[in-house]
Structure 1
Amino acid sequence: MRLLNKMNPELEKKIKDSYFVGRLATEEDLSGTFLDRPIKFIGENSDDIQFHIKCLSPIPEEVSKHLTFQNKILTGNTRSRQNLKIFNNKINLDRLFFTERIEKVKELLSDKLIVFKLDPKPEFIYVDIAKIENIKPGTSYSLIPGPSLKIGESIEDLETKLAKKGYPITLKYYPNIFDPPEFIYFEDYLYQVDMNQSMNPTTYSQKDGVDVRFMKIGDDFADMVHARIDGDLYFVELNRLGDLRDKMNDEGKNLTEHYSYTDPVEDHLESRPGQIPEDNLNAFNKNEFEFLSKFLKKAQNQYRLFYNEKDMISFHISVKTNMLTIIGGMSGTGKTQLAKIYGETLGLELGKRMIIVPISPSYKEPNDILGFLNPSTGVYHESETGLVSLLLEAEKYSDRTFMVIFDEMNLSQVEHWFSPFISLLELDEDNRYLT
């Protein structure tokens, strides 16, 4: 299908992470379009087959406004390797006579529920079939996502995040182009939620002030599901959502009241007092707890970044106890932002007592970040990083905190351009001099 206008790369990525369900379009579905048949060959001398799918699950408005047809008709063909693979596995399409192919594809797709993804191109968008469910399609479907937990996490960890509010929950195949989900399902339990979306397309969190209801549903839910993508996404007929709401009202429990938990920040601080004198322990705990609470809230409420509290506390401890703290992780997870938020929580202003130095792959020696002395003029030229100015300011006000964030530090060989600092950090404070 030709697009009305080009999609941006971010939307394209979100579409590629999404699943839909539909059925083979009928001639009645195609009325009002220039499409004449649900299945046909592409051109007179081509072996490639084109087919049209009527989408039965929600198409986000952000996507539909780019589509040529607003009747949820989408197009696929056998030029797609994925579609060709499905058809070869099911009906050995490549081995069929030319005259048999249309009829066999129609027989395969008719009266079946088709699970598919969308493959956006610069000017077109196509259907890639994921699987074909041998079930008579309903009229319309709703999506119920399942949360993706980290290795070692359990249902108790999920319920803690839901009960405490504001904690990140990943919905792998439910990017934020869709409306926030009403229900999520995990290991025989259904949760009725009201969630915030975040900057990360598949990260959500339960809204503050809104309680989660839950119930064990098991086989009743399985009977409602017409298609599923592993444990990450379930397709339920739209008219069954009312049944789920009624059942939740009758049998559901309040998760916050049911699930008791303690504050891991407070527990962590109280369980690790170190060598602090007994008479100062309470004041120390209070100050540490207040700072960490402010740090966590600033990340969540102001920047919509959600991390495990234990990781945030570990980061705080690392900054306090190490000369150098390195934050690793995938691109786009907020590593630089996390360091910046920490500095802001300390009261540091970006550009004054806190700077971000973007590291270039071309950095090869200390002069790249410090600057150089012109031997012919005797004039020192500071690097545009501003690092030297910050160091001179820090030397002047040694009782104050200063922070340098090296962004994308791994893009170049750190042992080259950072070598003076690596050596200095191994020396006692009194012997650290940088020329």
Structure 2
Amino acid sequence: MEIDSYFIGQLASEEKMKEINPVLSNVKVNDSNQLQFFIEVNNGLDIPADYEKYFKNQVIRCFESNLNSSEWDDLSNKGRYFRDDQFLKFAKNKLFIFKVDVNDSLIGTRLNVTKNSLIVKEKPKNISSNNEKTLTTIPIFRDFNVNKFEKNILDSKSIGSYEYLQEIRSPYIVCGEYLYGEFKNFEKLNDGWHVEYEDQIKKIPIDFNKYKDDILITEHALYLDENFLYDTLIEQGLEKLGTIITKENKIYVKEIDNTTNDFIEEIISEHEFLSTYKSNLKAKNLVYDSKQIINFHTSIKTRKLVILSGPSGTGKTQLVFNYAESLGINNSKSQFNLIPVKPSWTEDSDLIGYLDTINNIYRPSETGLIDTLIEANNNTDNIYVICFDEMNLAKVEHYFSQFLSVLELQGNERKLSLYNKEFIGRVFNADRYPPEIPIRDNVFFVGTINQDESSNSIPDKVLDRCNLIELVTPENYIELWSKSISNSLYKNELKQENKVETVTRSMLNEWGDWHGENVLNNKEIEIIKQLSNLFNSTFTIGFRTLNHINSYLANLPKNQELDREEAFDLQIAQKITPKIRGNSEELEKVFDEENGIFKILSKYQFKISNQILRRKKKELDIYGYTY
């Protein structure tokens, strides 16, 4: 069973290993030629009470396959001998953040690092090198801005849905640039964490970056020595210089002149939106990997076509529907338009409509697409999501041909042609349906495709113009689904559906500060160059693909679970690997064992891409062809 908390630790000392078992080493290469090592937990206070018995006189086992570190990849690739010695040097100044899986059996209890949970960090130089359990976890809450966060504390409301600890033991927490305390108790309810405190709470703004030698700063928590916390941040900081916030604090409201300000918009942050999105999915017992959710959101932000691929029943349409719901627009037929694609569609008139030249009337398709685009053009600050459901039931390149060209254009150049301008003055409903309709950047296009015998393949011209996300169910999805059902979240959270605030285009534009510049680093560019040289005789990695990858990485939300290396791996998987198609002869160079793609894309750094490539290689070996 997995403990729903993140722990931090260092490589277990030899002394600690001897206490547990005199024959065990803290690092060794096992009989399967796999490196395994043991970690000692340093934040013992974060162990949930129900699990404390399992951690007594225990260390956590981890395998090399869990390591997602380019530094270790480089070290291990230099030589496969003496890996245990290499790892001892590598781990000397490292801290490991991870989840724990408890295997309790008749022969005893074994604690393992949960698969895909390990994060490797450089140890700040002033953090103790011994393995005493002195590291304290200070949670960072990001669901609300500081004002909303403090208001919720004073009003006894939820301060956020912090998911990195099962029990919060620290009397101090962080929101924004402020350290808050001292709290008496934390309780997690259906809507998130609630706090209890005595008469007052203090806060102090702290520049945590000035303490990088003393504090390990991650997106979800601060980790620091207990002595440094109390001697410096609490005694010298919060207690002496902190500002008191109490329930007696008054809210001073500024009078607004309504003649000049008809409407003041409350900005919804990207963190708040993603939190709402995840809560909506969880409330309906829909199980998705958190990184898949962020991947989908980031792909949407690029304003390119996003296609969700996967077997029937993996929740592709639900992911889109709940995205619209979290934006606050799913109740509007015009702002969220779900278009079921029909197998009979053969040309773009099936999608957008046609000009009836006999009666001189433009007849839009029953899909309602044109009406949605017209409304979006007239309401540029509203967001519109158009989903083409099961879009490969018909040949995409036939009915979607005009869109394939239009969606690659920029700004005012994105115009959909309904009929020839020669008919201006002769079409009776031209006021409603002009010959051209602009497609503004407040319209987002998503498609879903099934991978079965009833569907058509996606041609390269479509792959070039989209982010193709292969949606897979999490490995432990049955357990997660069962847990979601048992918590009865649906009934409790469904009541809040109508309270979702609407996200506008101007809000969404605030979620990034990219202005079109190149954000690819040298290492990423070098990987793409190597792939391009490898694919030279098969296909090319063109400017369009480079622009899409660059735009995706630039739009990656900050302080989320999806880090830069994983995001780049996803872009290789979504923009490049889908185009690797052909027979064994055509792809012989690509899958060459010594100089092929597996040499360029390390299985540790590019896990997702490798999973897809291994599947394609297997198809080649069995069928002589992969698609």
TM-score by length of 2: 0.36
TM-score by length of 1: 0.50
- Bigger CA radius of gyration: 1
